[in-house]
Amino acid sequence: MATNLAEIFSEFKELKNIDRATMMSVFEDVFRGLLLKKYGTDTNFDIIINIDKGNFEIWRNREVVENEEMTDENLQIRLSDAQLIDEDYEVGEEVTDEVKLESFGRRMILSLRQNLTSRILELEKDNVYSKYSDRIGEIVVGEVYQVWKKEILVIDDEGNELIMPKSEQIATDYFRKGDTLRAVVIKVEMRNNTPQIVLSRTSPVFLERLFELEVPEIFDGLITIKKIVRIPGERAKIAVESYDERVDPVGACVGMKGSRIHGIVRELRNENIDVINYTSNIQLYIIRALSPAKVSSITIHERDKKAEVYLKPDQVSLAIGKSGLNIKLASQLTGYEIDVYRDIGDRDEEDVDIEEFADEIENWVIDELKAIGCDTAKSVLELSVEDLVKRTDLEEETIQEVRRILTEEFE
């Protein structure tokens, strides 16, 4: 039993971030609970605990009374018994003697050990919960301990268990047991009295923290990140602003020959990152957000939070981007619904709006073509069949039929 208790002391001693006063308090509470069970009171006991050495002492204080006047063996001691300890004791004095652990009996000692173990586990859980509650939004580094279908179990440098669900992993992430992983803490909660720390690599906060690590000007506050939007593993847009005219926010974030941003791109599995100079001029902001496309003109509808953007024919596909990602992120970044149109100035007077063919071409096919910026007959005919197959979800036969219908219009 003594060995078992020594092990518990040792466990307690190894707990980090738990102060000595808390340790002492827990041990004393458990020992006093034991005394209450055995003696009905703990008020006349002194408990001395030595955390470092892993031992303790329990001393009982009792008043010396005449032999025939003793009523409570726990609080009082007969004069004859006291004089066996020291013959100089007199009635009214206090006798202090040590209570040995063995005197409690095996069952009570087992109960003591269980209570101590339980309190240690509670403290560990509370400590982990408190520690990570303060670290929400911070990047942590851990080792992949177990990979399951729906989540990954990660162990930090103190042996705490962290969880990263599949939904918080980049689609192209691939981890094996033993790999080192970086992620941001997004949520900490208690489940069944156990802290659950949830990590994420898809959160915009993760990208923000990576920029803080790579770009000293952001960490120092010279450059401010205004907003981040991303489709994890595919593309991201980040708007930055500098209050110091001498600092180029975009240049500082990208670094010499892309030195700073390359590390972030690699960490995010080659996610394409556009860094944009923030401005309160909404027209200019939308134009920058649609980069790398070059906008010819733009019309803003403030009330509806909509923007009509006109581009040269060769810029339309750039503005929309692969699978529509560029325009989608630009809308999220600016807060405006963006509609892209071919520049009217370049439109042939004889050209016909594709909506005019609704009686011959199904609406869903027209919507597919408009989604890639082909809103007129000639804009469709200017693209090859191969290009249209790549950019839309339409079958080659469907495209051939559409081109036939549109071609007849100009014959």
Is residue 332 in a domain? no
CATH number of the domain encompassing residue 95: 3.30.1480.10
Question: What phi and psi values does residue 331 have, to the nearest 5 degrees?
Answer: -65, -45
One-letter amino acid identity for 279?
T
Say if residues 317 and 391 touch (Cβ distance below 8 Å).
yes
Give the pairing of strands 55-65 and 94-99. Answer: antiparallel
Q: How would you list the strands of the sheet with 235-242, edge to edge?
A: 223-231, 235-242, 272-277
Q: What total number of domains does the chain contain?
A: 4
Per-residue pLDDT averaged across 261-272, rounded?
93
Residues 211, 177 share a domain: no
pTM above 0.75, yes or no: no
Is residue 293 in a domain? no
Is residue 285 in a domain? no
Per-residue pLDDT averaged across 253-279, rounded?
93
Per-residue pLDDT averaged across 319-324, rounded?
88
Q: Which positions ≥6 away from 254 have C-beta within 8 Å?
A: 260, 261, 275
Is residue 287 in a domain? no
What pLDDT is recorded for position 346?
47
What pLDDT is recorded for position 411?
66
* H helix runs in 50-203, sequence order: 79-85, 106-133
What pLDDT is recorded for position 152?
96
What pLDDT is recorded for position 199?
97
Domain boundary among 81, 109, 131: 131
Residues 228, 161 share a domain: no
pLDDT at 243 over 50: yes
Q: How confident is the model at residue 84 (pLDDT cuts 50, 70, 90)?
A: confident
Give the pairing of strands 194-200 and 272-277. Answer: unpaired
Residue matched to tokens 């050495």 = 53
Per-residue pLDDT averaged across 148-158, rounded?
93
Q: What is the mean pLDDT of the chain?
A: 87
Residues 385, 270 share a domain: no
Residues 127, 158 share a domain: no
Say if residues 279 and 288 touch (Cβ distance below 8 Å).
yes
Give pLDDT tens digits for 397-410.
999 999 988 888 77
Domain boundary among 257, 278, 299: 278
Give the pairing of strands 194-200 and 223-231. Answer: unpaired
What pLDDT is recorded for position 150?
93
Is residue 318 in a domain? no
Residues 6, 125 share a domain: yes
pLDDT at 135 over 90: yes
What pLDDT is recorded for position 23?
74
Residues 207, 180 share a domain: no
CATH number of the domain encompassing residue 260: 3.30.300.20
What pLDDT is recorded for position 283?
93
CA 180 – CA 209 distance, rounded (Å):
18
More confident site: 328 or 34:
328
CA 275 – CA 176 distance, rounded (Å):
32
CA 91 – CA 178 distance, rounded (Å):
71
Per-residue pLDDT averaged across 114-127, rounded?
82
Per-residue pLDDT averaged across 246-263, rounded?
92
DSSP character string of 63-92: EEE-GGG---TTTEEEHHHHHHH-TT--TT
Give pLDDT tens digits for 7-58.
666 666 566 556 667 777 888 888 888 888 888 888 999 988 776 666 778 8
One-letter amino acid identity for 85?
I
More confident site: 373 or 216:
216
Q: How confident is the model at residue 350 (pLDDT cuts 50, 70, 90)?
A: low
Residues 145, 104 share a domain: no
Is residue 244 in a domain? yes
Per-residue pLDDT averaged across 366-386, rounded?
84
Residues 209, 192 share a domain: no
pLDDT at 368 over 70: yes
Is residue 111 in a domain? yes
Residues 208, 196 share a domain: no
pLDDT at 309 over 50: yes
Residues 20, 68 share a domain: yes
CA 315 – CA 391 distance, rounded (Å):
14
Residues 104, 51 share a domain: yes
Token output for 287: 């134009």
Q: What is the residue range of 152's domain?
A: 141-200
- C-alpha torsion angle, residues 129, 134, 137, 140 (rounded to 10): -70
Is residue 292 in a domain? no
Percent of the chain topping pLDDT 90: 44
Residues 172, 127 share a domain: no
Domain boundary among 79, 106, 131: 131
